[in-house]
Amino acid sequence: MGRQKIEVCNVSKKFGDSVVLDKVSLELNGGKIYGIVGYNGSGKTVLFKCICGFYRTDKGAIKINGQVMHKDIDILKGAGIIIEEPGYIRNFSGIKNLECLYRICNKPNRKYLKTVMTKVGLNPNSRKPVCHYSLGMRQRLAIAQATMENQEILILDEPMNGLDKRSVSDMRNFFEELKEQGKLILLASHNKDDIELLCDEVYEMDMGRLSRLR
**CB of residue 40 to ligand ATP, shortest distance in Å:** 3
Quick one: DSSP state of residue 147? H
Residues 100, 161: Cα–Cα separation, whole Å: 24
**CB of residue 79 to ligand ATP, shortest distance in Å:** 18
Question: Which residue's Cβ lies closest to ligand ATP?
Answer: 45
Quick one: DSSP state of residue 74? S
Residues 11, 34: Cα–Cα separation, whole Å: 18
The smaller minimum CB distance to ligand ATP, of residues 59 and 127, is found at 59
The smaller minimum CB distance to ligand ATP, of residues 99 and 204, is found at 204
**CB of residue 188 to ligand ATP, shortest distance in Å:** 7
- Other CB atoms closer than 10 Å to residue 62's CB: what's the count? 25
The smaller minimum CB distance to ligand ATP, of residues 49 and 119, is found at 49
Residue numbers at the binding site for ligand ATP (CB under 6 A): 15, 20, 38, 40-46, 190
Find all residues with CB under 8 Å of 102, minimum gap 6, and list them. Answer: 108, 109, 113, 148, 149
**CB of residue 148 to ligand ATP, shortest distance in Å:** 24
The smaller minimum CB distance to ligand ATP, of residues 30 and 38, is found at 38
CA atoms within a 13 Å half-sphere pointing along the CA-CB vector of 153: 19
